[in-house]
Structure 1
Amino acid sequence: MIVRDHNGEILLSSCRQLLSCKDPLGAELSAVMEGLSLALHWCNKHLITETDCLEIVSLLNSKEIYCLAYAMMIEEIKTLLKVRQPCITHVMKCQNTGSQFLANYASRISSRTAVWLVFAQRDY
């Protein structure tokens, strides 16, 4: 995941290996949940969450729970989204190359987690 400011400058990026994951949807939901948690911890501004997984945007914007296997995770993400003005949007995969790079990097690193903080000022 990558956290950017209103000018598109990177503030924080992170990747982590998933040691147990049933399917791609589970991996994407884990990434959104962890990314939101880190962004809420490190940034105090309005958050816009972007993902290239249209299914996640649909699940999180829906009032119904259609995916029972991930119902608890979906509800937890919805709760995180409510902490600040909730907004989750879909971006094309070609617009998400930074996150794709981090996902590939996470599968190759020997440590389990990597985080990069790039704060010029702590007023974010």
Structure 2
Amino acid sequence: MILRRTDGSVILAAYSCIFNCNDALEAEIHALMQGMALAIQHSELPVIVRSDSSEALLALKGDNLSRSTYGHLVAEIQFLMGEREFIPSKIKRDQNRVAD
């Protein structure tokens, strides 16, 4: 996860391990949730959430995963979204790189 200012400079970079993960979608939802929590702690500005996972970004907007095994994660993300303006943004997979 990388938290950047509007000019692109890095505020915070972090990573974490998920020891039990069923699939890539669960990993992406965990990363979104943790990144959003860090953004709330370290910035007062609206947050642009970028991901290459269309399905994970859809979870931010609706309740399509609310009854799935990831429902508790989606509920946590939607709770975090109530505290700040979050703008979901879909990026291409090759743009999802941290080596800038």
TM-score (norm 1): 0.73
Q: Could you list the structure 1 runs, at least 4 aligned residues long, displaced by more than 4 angstroms after superposition.
A: none
Q: Residues 46 and 66 from structure 1, CA distance in 2 versus in 1: closer, same or farther, beyond 3 angstroms?
A: closer
Q: Residues 65 and 28 from structure 1, CA distance in 2 versus in 1: closer, same or farther, beyond 3 angstroms?
A: closer
Q: Which runs of 5+ in 1 are unaligned?
A: 102-124
Q: Does residue 60 of structure 2 align to residue 54 of structure 1?
A: no
Report the identity percentage: 26
Q: Which runs of 5+ in 2 are unaligned?
A: none
Q: What is the RMSD computed on CA atoms of the aligned residues?
A: 1.6
Greater helix share, 1 or 2? 1
Counterpart for residue 34 of structure 2? 34
Structure number with greater Rg is 1
Count the aligned residue pairs. Answer: 99
Q: Does the 8 Å contact 1:81/1:87 carry over to 2? A: no
TM-score (norm 2): 0.88
Tell me: higher relative CO, structure 1 or 2? Use CA pairs within 8 A at least 6 residues apart.
Answer: 1
Q: Does the 8 Å contact 1:3/1:10 carry over to 2? A: yes
